[in-house]
Structure 1
Amino acid sequence: MIFEANVEGWRELIPSYMHVRLQFDQLISLPSEPDDDIVERQKRFCFYLRPQGTDDSEIGQRVGFSGPPSC
């Protein structure tokens, strides 16, 4: 999968990085033919993208990181 993140006016939750949030909503039941036991489950995943052409060390100096960002 290729994701091209050339977006104008993106929001900075961590300065100089693009914030992406995915949310998955699921309805779950133990039996394959559910009755009244359906449970709703929501999962959220967040990750940050560094824009092309930027340097981690330059961003780190600007925002005060002690080293490169890591997971």
Structure 2
Amino acid sequence: MLLRVLIFAAIGIFIYLGVRRIWRDWTGQFKADDEEARRLRRERDQREREKPGIIDLKRDQDGRFRPDDDDKRR
């Protein structure tokens, strides 16, 4: 009887540790994929900002978005 309990406990521990490892691997991969997508989006945004004709807008005191005071394109 004690042997059965020990075997079931060992099997339960192995299953728990296996599921836990799979869960960590999957979440780690999802986080890495999200970080890669975030990096690519940031690089794309940076390239788009450097294009001519792109105006950076700042929120003014009245809540409207307007170009900076130092913007030469106004």
Q: Which has the higher helix share?
A: 2
Q: Could you tell me the TM-score, scaled by structure 1's length?
A: 0.21
Q: Could you tell me the TM-score, scaled by structure 2's length?
A: 0.20
Relative contact order, higher structure (CA 8 A, sep 6+): 1
Which has the larger Rg? 2
